[in-house]
Structure 1
Amino acid sequence: MKPEQRIEIAKVLLSHLIEFLSQFKSPACRNNIKDDSDWLKVNLGPFADKVDYSELKELNITGLAVLGSLSPEQKVNLLLDSTTGALENVSVVTEVFSSILQSPEQMDKFFEYFVQATNEANITTINNTAVRDTMLNLTLTALAPRFATFETSDFELWFQVNLFVLLASLQPASLSVIPLNISCDSFTAIIKGLDKVLAILPEEGLVSCRHDLVQELPSGCMVPIDIGSLEGKSPTEVAELTLNSGALNDTNQIETVFQFLENGDAFQNVDEFLTAVTNSSELPAISIAVRDIVMNLTFNIISTHFPTFDTADWEAWFKEKLVLVLPSFTAKMLTRTISNIGCTNYRVV
């Protein structure tokens, strides 16, 4: 039977049950039916998992009573249903998660719907710490046997998407389930997931986890940049980290770098940063997309200072500091640059 047929039939059955609910709930119709789970199996059979969770509630059935008959999507709706208070109850969460974590297929489906539902509800974290701890620990325990076969894309899915609203509960001890022989890209995928959460919830345990993961990176593996890793560093130190992190080929990371440099005296910070980046016998490689971003952001910062530039400044910027990114200099930038300068500085540019 086609999926759409199953859904249509389920709707008809549900409509009938709701209309004649008192009859179907009467002792005569409940003969040999022990509980709500049995009642659901008898009256909806294999179509029970095609009914919206909200519609099941119209049958005066509690989700936990029929947990074994619910689909992964229905279990997500049960958890997020504010009337059940599930996200404030460790016992309920444990029961729901225990019902889906035994099967990788059920688990994957559950988190597919969980991510969709939390996004739609604009949930960025599970607020109850005990509940969040329980959800994450049970999930990591279930994932542990699968980690050894994970590709980088799997680590990206779980640590950057599926576990996003739970990762604030990650503790250094939790990392023991992650194999140490995974690839550099896989380590980086996990760290980027932590960085996404740290950007909104700088939990101490999560900071420690990031530090521990960085220590386990394979030789030659570059550490991805995040705002937290830049705190307290000078622009020169940020430049060194940029050169060693792969940020010159990653638009997201270079935007993070400039977000940091724009704090405080942006002109002085960018001046020191670019001086350090270009202060080598050989210019580093940089992708065109990153070069465009650096040129645009730098121009926005330094152009307001052009009226105070003397010839030495024009020399320093256009012959040294900007040399790495000048191929991204545009006609619009040039027009603004030379609009109020004399012939000497014009020739420098």
Structure 2
Amino acid sequence: MRPVSLSDVNATILFIQKISLSKFEELLEKVNAKINDTVLVPLMAKETILRATWERYKADTRLKNATFLKSFLQLLRPFIAGISKPILQSLPYWNVSCDDFKALVQGFNTGLAEMTLDTKAALEDWIFSYINATGVSCITNTSESGEWLVKNWEFINDLIKSVNLIQQKTNSSPISTTVIQNKTVGESLLNSIFGGLAPLFPVFKPENFTEWFEKRLPVLLSRITSFELASIPTNITCESYQAIMKGFNSVVNFTLPQIGDLYRFGKNILSQHIVLSGSECDADVRKDHELIQRKFMQSLKGLSFKSFLALNFSGFEILDLLTPQILSGLTVHSDALNDVDKISQIIDTLASKNFSDLIAYLTQFVADTKEMNVTAFQNATIRRLMLSKIMKLLEPFFPKLNTSNYVDLFQRKLFLLLPSITEKELATIPTNISCESYQAM
């Protein structure tokens, strides 16, 4: 087939200019009905017809009507892949209403598979420039917007050069990078999409979760909150959970609260699966949860108890993940000092930790009680229980301690607990310690 020449373009423009609009639209309807596979129409022919059509219609006031625009774009379906940068540039953002924008995007969607890279780049620039210029509320502020985004996000997402966005390069698609990385925009888009997906989640299969969380949503997942996570049912299959977590595990810049939310989300789903099926998810699925768990534990290091409280965990549901410092805060700042079960849970958690962790706990315990002006225990039962359990934990290490260790333990770290010392606790201390160590005690 010979290439389309300038004379072909001019002839097409002339023909469309001469024919009446009603007859031309009838002709478009007939062509539309006959062409099911738009690939059969050469791309250059699409570009020519679309360019000629635009020349005839660009001043048509009916294009201001979103309903007409939507139906008109449907008539142009066989040729929409031929949209060009000059046509897009003739659509100034301030002259395109929100409804028109939605109609245009939905119309462009039909031709994505056949568009050239240059056309996709031009569309990406136009769509994100519109969002940047007019604000994201057009496509996020109603339930209908959420449904629209779900239908059209694949198209918009496919236009984004995800690698450049993730790597934060600015040498390609700078406008989409700017828009998507804007916190407010990203949060609004994700919230709206989840609003549209929420009614669908209960019937999603693993492949549906894969499609969304591994392919369509990664560029937005760094904006996830507990609100969006709460819209995902907890009774999904292990395979569905794995698909979701693969998407989340591809994100490297989660905040600590987000990691905490993801950990809680995963724990709820895995626990629910055990309740419903009587068995755990397999090891491969649990690995994805364990990855988030490791990130969570790593993020807790160096965190103050006050900052930990901001994560909305009680602490007792994740005792095994907490640092010695946070365990101390939980001891002093919760009601554990008046609750036998809770104080037992906290001290028993230390049994799985090493000597340095135990010392770190006691060091922080001294600092926390001093800050709270605690000079004596009001609850002798709790004091006795704490001392008994801690001395039992220290027992294997006593033979290795030197005099300075005994000074530190008995004159500083255990000072508040020592009024409850009994023969049982004393029996945990070796009798062959040095005179200096004995004197220190």
Q: Structure 1-normalised TM-score?
A: 0.51
Q: Secondary structure at the match of 1:84?
A: helix
Match of 1:153 among 192, 203, 207: 207
SS at match of 2:218: coil
1:133 CA drift (Å) = 1.0
Task: Quote the residue 1:129 is aligned against.
Answer: 183
Structure 1 residues 266-321: Cα deviation after superposition (integer angstroms, max 9, x where no partner): xxxxxxxxxxxxxxxxxxxxxxxxxxxxxxxxxxxxxxxxxxxxxxxxxxxxxxxx
The partner residue of 1:208 within 260, 270, 292 is 260
**Cα drift, residue 39 of structure 1:** 7.3
Q: What corresponds to 1:143 in structure 2?
A: 197
Q: Secondary structure at the match of 1:213?
A: helix
Tell me how far apart the structure 2 counterparts of residues 194 and 155 of structure 1 sit (CA, whole Å): 12
Q: 1:81 aligns with which of 114, 122, 126?
A: 126
Deviation digits for residues 90-142 of structure 1 (CA, Å, limit 9, x no counterpart): 224437995682496xx2xx343334322366112721111111111111111
Alignment of 1:1-349 (within 5 A): 1=35, 2-6=37-41, 8=43, 9-17=45-53, 21=55, 30=60, 33=62, 35=64, 38=68, 45-47=75-77, 49-52=80-83, 54-60=85-91, 62=93, 64=97, 65-69=100-104, 70-72=107-109, 80-81=125-126, 84-87=129-132, 89-94=135-140, 98=144, 101-102=147-148, 107=151, 110-119=152-161, 122-124=164-166, 126-197=180-251, 199=252, 201-216=253-268, 217=270, 218-219=273-274, 220-221=280-281, 222-224=286-288, 225-226=290-291, 228-229=295-296, 231=298
State the 1:12 CA deviation. 1.9
| Offset of residue 157 of structure 1 | 2.0
AA matched with 2:46:
A
Q: Secondary structure at the match of 1:145?
A: coil
Letter in 1 for 2:265: L
Matches of 1:81 and 1:230, distance apart in 2: 43
- Quote the Cα distance in structure 2 between the aligned partners of 1:43 and 1:182: 39
CA shift for structure 1 position 55: 4.4
Between the two proteins, the alignment pairs up a number of residues equal to 223
CA, structure 1 residues 67+172, in 2 after alignment: closer, same or farther (shift >3 Å)? closer
Match of 1:190, SS state, is helix
Task: Measure the CA separation in 2 of the matches of 1:187 and 1:103.
Answer: 23
Q: What do residues 57-92 of structure 1 show as CA deviations (whole Å, max 9, x unaligned)?
A: 244465653532433378996564387251472224
Distance in structure 1 (CA, Å) of the matches to 2:87 and 2:142: 17
Question: Residue 214 of structure 1: CA displacement?
Answer: 2.4
CA distance in 2, matches of 1:25, 1:67: 18
Percent identity, aligned pairs only? 19
User: Per-residue CA shift, 1:191-232, capped at 9, x if unaligned?
Assistant: 2221211x2x12234212211122211232324243615637
State the AA in 1 paired with 2:266: V
Contact 1:10 1:44 in 2 (8 A): no
Contact in 2 for aligned 1:101/1:142 (Cα 8 Å): yes
Paired residue type of 1:10: K
User: For the structure 1 residues 177 and 14, does the alpha-carbon distance in structure 2 shift closer, same or farther, using more than 3 Å as the test?
Assistant: same
Residue identity opposite 2:210 in structure 1: E
**Structure 1 CA distance for aligned equivalents of residues 142 and 42 of structure 2:** 24
Give the residue type in structure 1 aligned to 2:147. Answer: L
- How far residue 182 of structure 1 moved from its aligned partner, in angstroms, is 0.7
Please tell me whether the aligned partners of residues 50 and 83 of structure 2 are also in contact (alpha carbons under 8 angstroms). no
> TM-score, normalised on structure 2?
0.42
- Cα distance in 2 between the residues matched to 1:71 and 1:193: 27
Q: Which amino acid aligns with 2:81?
A: K
Distance 1:212 1:122 in 2: 31
C-alpha distance in 2, partners of 1:50/1:97? 29
Mapped to 2, the partners of 1:44 and 1:211 lie a distance apart of 45
C-alpha contact 1:10 1:51 (8 A) present in aligned 2: yes
In 1: Cα distance, 2:51 partner to 2:220 partner: 37
Whether contact under 8 Å (1:87, 1:128) holds in the other structure is no
**Deviation for aligned residue 1:160:** 2.0
Counterpart of 1:204 in structure 2: which amino acid? L
Instruction: Give distance in 1, aligned partners of 2:259 and 2:84.
Output: 38
In the alignment, the residues of structure 1 paired with residue 146 and residue 125 of structure 2 have an alpha-carbon distance, to the nearest angstrom, of: 16
